[in-house]
């Protein structure tokens, strides 16, 4: 019985070591994915489209839906046009990352976005007003490259800060 107990003890120790050895790989992946997301936000804020090209898949998608149900941007080039348009309105726009949570190929980011309104935005003429609001992103990173970024930004808060009174949109035909 003693040999059997010793064998079981060695087996348990071996399985524990194997399990512990596997854990850092998952941790390394999430750490690497968080680093890629940090680089992406930094490249966005710097408007560094060369870095963004390296960080984003050619078929990158922003799947956030608008009222008509169409994706906001499909493909890296369409996304770049969306980004350029936004930075025309808010040239000093920044993302202050408050928290990143990662699991597998997904990274959730809690950010505070801010910038100064310098050009027309959603029909609002330039105001020179500094806006700041909350945003949440769910980003997919595959092999070190972003493939999609789903976002939920407090646009109602932005419009309110710019002096616009948001009105409900009718979904009836």
Q: Which residue has the tokens 């909350």?
A: 134
Q: Are 104 and 141 in contact (CB under 8 A)?
A: no
Tell me the percentage of the chain whose pLDDT exceeds 90: 51
Residue 141 belongs to a domain: yes
**68-89 confidence digits (pLDDT tens):** 445 566 789 888 988 898 899 9
Residue 73 belongs to a domain: yes
Domain count of the chain? 1
Residue 8 belongs to a domain: no
Residue 12 belongs to a domain: no
Residue 18 belongs to a domain: no
Residue 140 belongs to a domain: yes
**116-129 confidence digits (pLDDT tens):** 999 998 888 999 99
Least confident of 6-10, 36-40, 103-107: 6-10
Instruction: For 102-118, give one letter per residue: b (16+ CB within 10 A) or e.
Output: beeeebebebebebebb
Q: Is the pLDDT of residue 67 over 70?
A: no
CATH of the domain at 46: 3.10.450.50
Phi, psi (rounded to 5 degrees) for 83:
-65, -50
Q: Is the pLDDT of residue 60 over 60?
A: yes
Q: Is the pLDDT of residue 108 over 80?
A: yes
Classify residue 91 as left (phi > 0), alpha (psi -120 to 50) or beta: alpha
Instruction: For 40-56, give one letter per residue: b (16+ CB within 10 A) or e.
Output: bbebbbeeeeeebeebb
Split at pLDDT 50, 70, 90, the class of 24 is very low
Q: Is the pLDDT of residue 31 over 80?
A: yes
CA separation for the pair 136, 149 (Å, rounded): 10
Residue 85 belongs to a domain: yes
* Higher per-residue confidence, 123 vs 51: 51
Tell me the pTM: 0.77
Domain of residue 128, residue span: 32-161
Residue 82 belongs to a domain: yes
């Amino acid at each position: 019985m003693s040999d059997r107990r010793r064998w079981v003890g060695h087996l348990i120790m071996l399985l524990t070591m194997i399990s512990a050895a596997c854990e850092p790989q998952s941790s390394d992946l999430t750490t690497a994915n968080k680093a890629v997301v940090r680089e992406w936000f930094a490249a966005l804020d710097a408007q560094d489209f060369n870095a963004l090209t390296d960080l984003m898949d050619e078929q990158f998608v922003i799947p956030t839906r608008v009222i008509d149900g169409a994706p906001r941007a499909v493909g890296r080039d369409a996304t770049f046009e969306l980004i350029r348009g936004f930075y025309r309105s808010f040239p000093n726009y920044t993302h202050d990352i408050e928290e990143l949570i990662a699991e597998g190929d997904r990274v959730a980011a809690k950010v505070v976005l801010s910038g100064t309104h310098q050009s027309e935005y959603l029909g609002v003429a330039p105001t020179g007003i500094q806006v700041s609001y909350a945003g949440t992103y769910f980003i997919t990173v595959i092999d070190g490259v972003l493939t999609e970024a789903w976002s939920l930004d407090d646009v109602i808060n932005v419009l309110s800060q710019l002096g616009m009174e948001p009105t409900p949109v009718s979904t009836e035909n």
